[in-house]
A and B are shown apart, each in its own frame.
Chain A
């Protein structure tokens, strides 16, 4: 059922055996996941980084109820992928995690987001500290164009007014971890605008790392990049995963399979977006419990 058909895994033209093909596709996704991750990172085995837990999170934009009752536990040192069709609330969800949701004037929320057991929405919380601990990489690479490559990496320190003993070491460390050091070490003083899209995105990752976040949120970080750059970013994510908690929103199921330990499936069925199912990534792709998840991962919609 699996191996002999694996050569067909991407053949969209194979229409007559829809059932057959889709099953093949989903199980091969599980294979990818297994090859990449299984056993590599088990929850709780890494003490660096720290856990994040969403409890009954809802989100609204004005009257529009965008996200309903999402509870998810992100263990320290794991990568969780959020998948689902457009408009299912997965981007909204990760923006509630580092309190970027509140920038929409009409936004509202309910529930709790616990970082190290403390609610980030508790009264009197310093929101800038929360965002320091929960970094974010956006869909489109957005380096600061007025700054050089080096200044971009260290910009978070300046913005949050943090003191560091050795800036050069930190700069190198962040760029190495983001997989960009070799390409830019000779032109740290050049403006960031001269880099390619993929390099800019890795620069943005390096920028997020410089303030030493415990959690890194990635909102479709590869959707604006070419396949080569996408693979490099995925390598970077796999490298980083040992030292921090990563939550990545993606449209690309292969990507979820390649980088994540856990996958959560979000769906909006007319009403607010909901989390349908969360499970270890290879399970989601090989034997999803919910019919809707199965339909989605097998490519029947979305």
Chain B
């Protein structure tokens, strides 16, 4: 386990550096992952050899750029097992996808007195867009509660989702609590009540095999940068029939069929949603990232991360004064470990860990309602990916202990 899954660590030269005089231990993967040489080379190669605008030119470079851009779409469709490439729309990010489905589809199907159901563990990007729809349509925004363990309370879900519910929108994997939510089961409940099921896949798609047909979700959104691709490229999936009825969010070039002086008609899916020149190199790089992940195998990635968590979680829990949020059973916990240390603010913890070369996130993780629910202002968060090693985990635990000792000596 000392070279990452399948010796993958060598593909990430950024990891091979010193930070504050210590070897870098990068444990902020839930925020963004590092990019392997293969993805970086794809970007350079595109700009050195094929750069042109897509879907417009008749010249050779335009054709090459278009082919690569569309080939990446096919890779995405296969990656999440979409029934058709028409269901795959490129976005800027998960946030953009969730905003689109809320502002366009949400406002189409949610009426006065209806309900939108989300949960206590959502990221702001799956809360705030729904608040906007609820306010605009005079609908009610309801929250599914959590169990004492930090998992989604399915009894609460069954109570909150009613015949008035039009939208159920839930993160497939939680960015703080480190749990995987039963999206398929939630979708069944939603569909029984005639509601649509939307999953935020930002923390799930990079770490496990996704099958949107098996999950039977109506919409699914995720980001490239949390799965080896650059920032600024994301994916928005929707069932074809629903995307057909959903009005475009942005208007302009590329998305039109024909423009008259007073009105216009839209081109077919998926381009109807892709107004303007898209992030071409980002999409092609996402395709390359998917090749890399597929080559490793999503099931292998999932198993490897599980092994790392099973190794790290008991050691972190054993440090006196450490609180870990979410389930303490490693079988129920993803590679996201949110924690606090008694008497210490997470910012002080993160600065201390940084001095030891260990990069973690500290803050509210864009989940302020969850912080309120947990009655904390913030937490520290360490998050793994397949290139992390057992040595990284050891260094992390050692640094947590050192920080604890430093502040205990200084303060008492």
Do A and B form a real pair? no
A-binding residues in B (CB < 8 A): none
